[in-house]
Each structure stands twice: as structure tokens, then as C-alpha cells.
Chains A and B, each alone.
Chain A
Amino acid sequence: MTSFLPPSERIWWKVPVGKQELVWIGIALVWCLFMFFMMPYWHLYGKQNLSNEAYQTTPAKFQARVDAMVEQFKVGEEAGMPVVRPPAGSDVYMLGRLWQWYPILELQKDQSYRLHLSSMDWQHGFSLQPVNINLQIVPGYEMVLTVTPDQAGEFAVVCNEFCGIGHHTMLGKISVMEN
């Protein structure tokens, strides 16, 4: 009756709260705080965190970096795209554009790389499969993260941000070699 009528007490604030609700609020609050502190905890002790290192850039500037890397470390071609094998520990670049991830990277297992990502045109979604790491790639911004591939094999980069009619053809590749 009373959810759509004015409260039965003029001073409803002072009506004591039932035990059941208090117990539940207590339990729920503890769980909420636990979940909150889990995030900083993972920053300190977990292995999967974004550095949030990023730069404002321009498509031309980023393209120049990618081209420099391709020129220096190109080892072959596949499907009309250069395959690049940069040295372990170095800065590696990948760009998203309508509709490809460029270039193909060859990395070594258990080595760390500083991966730089940006878009040349619209927004794209970097979705590394089947590992399932997903990042938002935004034009005008260069995202930098340190990745350490811990599995060998061939991995696809699916675009998972809608980018027009050819969106489903936008596939890239990262190969990880055993040492």
C-alpha cells in the first residue's frame, strides 16, 4: 500500500531499520569495498594492467614511425603486407586503418615489447584472438603498453569497433616464435 502513498510516519527518518536490512547492508558493503580494493591490489600484484601511457599524435606522425620500423626490421611479406621482426625489448608499432591492421608482427615468446597502437582514420578495436585482449584504438592518440607474449603461435587481431562496411575484413596478425 505504501510505496505509492506518503510514508506513514511524518519523521520517517527516525523509524528504526530492521535487523535483516542492517545485516544485508553490512554484508553488501563489505563486498563492495572488497571489490573496490581488488583493483588497486591488481595494479600492485597482478600481471595484466594497462600502463595508461599515451600520447597525442597525428596519423602522419604515427605512420612515419610505423614505416621506419617496417623499413628497418622487415623480414618478408604475407598477403601483401610486410612481416616485421623487431628485436626483443624494442618499441613495436601497429596501426589500424580502413580496413587493416598494419604490419604483421613477429615477436618472441616471453620477451617484452613496448607496443604502440593508433588509428589512421576512424576508431577501431584491437582484439587479440584467441587470447582475448581488447583495447580501444582512437585516432589522434597513441597508446603504449608493454606486452609479454607467453604463448607461441599465430594470433589474429580482430577489429571489434564498428568501422564501416568493410569492418569484418579488418584482420591483422601477430606471430609469436619459440625462443
Chain B
Amino acid sequence: MPQDDNPPKPEPVPFFQRMLDNPFLLLFIGVVVPTVFYILWGIMEIATIPVAP
């Protein structure tokens, strides 16, 4: 229970905590990271396999 009688200026929430409290930001990075590193990079790998001579 915060017992502040008059909290004039609550301590600002640190950046990382704000990030972890933001579900849509997390959703965004959680989809983008695997899409870029796994799916897109992987598709490029397959697409650039040379044709057999």
C-alpha cells in the first residue's frame, strides 16, 4: 500500500518496464524478429540456391 500523503511527482517508470508493460510493442517485436531472422532470411537462402549446371 503506497502511503504517500501527497505524491507530487511519482518516480518516472524506467524505459524497460514501460516496454514490458506494453503488450502491442511486445507483439510487434515478437513477430518481427522471427519473421526477419527465420522466415525472410531462410527464404532468401532457399531462393539463392544455384541451379544445377
Q: Check whether chain A touches chain B (CB < 8 angstroms).
A: yes
Chain A residues engaging chain B, CB cutoff 8 angstroms = 10-14, 54-57, 61-62, 141-142
B2 interface contact, C-beta 8 A: yes
B31 interface contact, C-beta 8 A: no
Q: Across the interface, which residues of A come within 8 angstroms of B14, CB to CB? A: 11, 13-14
B19 to chain A, nearest CB (A): 10
Would you give 8 A-B contacts (Cβ < 8 Å), ordered by A? A10-B10, A11-B14, A55-B50, A56-B49, A56-B52, A57-B51, A62-B52, A141-B49
Contact indicator B17/A56 (Cβ below 8 Å):
no
A39 to chain B, nearest CB (A): 16
**Interface size class, chain B:** 10 to 19
Interface of B is mostly: loop
> Which chain B residues in 20-53 approach chain A with CB under 8 Å?
20, 49-53
CA of A66 to CA of B11 in the docked complex: distance in angstroms? 73
